[in-house]
Structure 1
Amino acid sequence: MNTHNPIFHVLAALLRVALVVGLFAGVWSVYRQLPETPEAARPEAPQETSLSIVLREAAGEPRASLSIPFELYPIDIAAAQNEFFSEPRPGKRLDDFLAERMGERAPVEGRLDENGQATMKVKSGPWWIHATLPGELNIEWRLRVNVSGQRQTVELTPDNAYTRSKSF
């Protein structure tokens, strides 16, 4: 190839210009898709989900009082308590330790109605449901739930119970 030919120099100059224009066009297309203001760049706060909790008892078992309290925690409270008591923390109370671990999400308390149902609004994310069904056979739930979407239903059944203990 003859590099002293004027056509070669013109063609090389055109390719250089095309390369610069192509790079500029790529950067411009990305720039146009950026948010206009810093407020739009912030991720949205976690949305709230309508969480329904339903108690399903095993067939053939006597129906207990279904108006039972339950708690929703953003962390595994039992694991956090074990962690707190496993090593000394001078000057720090359990309540302070739990509040620090939960961050901005506070525990939510509720009560199942006589039909064994409850509905509440909670922020999306992982939650732990703690509930105890009293009776001849106490059934306790410590159930981890990933809450997401507009609506979600969680069933408390004997199959997903944490413990069963006979009361005397």
Structure 2
Amino acid sequence: MAMEAEFEAAVEDRRPFLFALGCLFAAWREIGKHSEGRLILANYALALGLLIPMAALQFQQAVRFLPSAESPFGLQGAGAGPNLYLIWSQNSAIPILLITWLLLGMAHLCLAWLLVEGDWPRIVKCGTLIGAAMITLTLFMSVLMLDLSPLRAQVAELAIELAAVVSISRWHIRVFADVSREMRAR
């Protein structure tokens, strides 16, 4: 109620924006002092620092399968050699490879969103989708005898991503178990 009264006074003085900025700065000073605040900051750091760049990497990989001036059929730099027996199969696979890379990118964006929201059942589902899509992509590219070198780095990055999400989930469990104990004590 006191904040509402202060806000009304700020509106009367025609300075609601300055009041809001002051509240924002005060919240930023206090957020690191509480375990829930540190967890929220870590969630945002993981989402902005790892998951969204990983989505950008997936979208970049999808661009490799689009037709261009150098490779009118797509697959530029994807290891599609002059093998006449495989070129038809490789070119026929371009749409599904493109869709799979785009699905991986979108799934990473969804995972970042869900992590910030703290929706753990959906995080597990999204992580399972990412893992299944990556396995499918690896098998599909292997069968088509395409270059798997872009996948090596991404598998390592997915392992780091999985470890980070698991550690954040454990931290989340610990923090909210402490909060629930404190609530029961009151």
TM-score (norm 1): 0.28
Larger relative contact order (CA 8 Å, sep ≥ 6): 1
TM-score (norm 2): 0.26
**Higher share in helix:** 2
**Higher share in strand:** 1
Q: Which has the larger radius of gyration?
A: 1
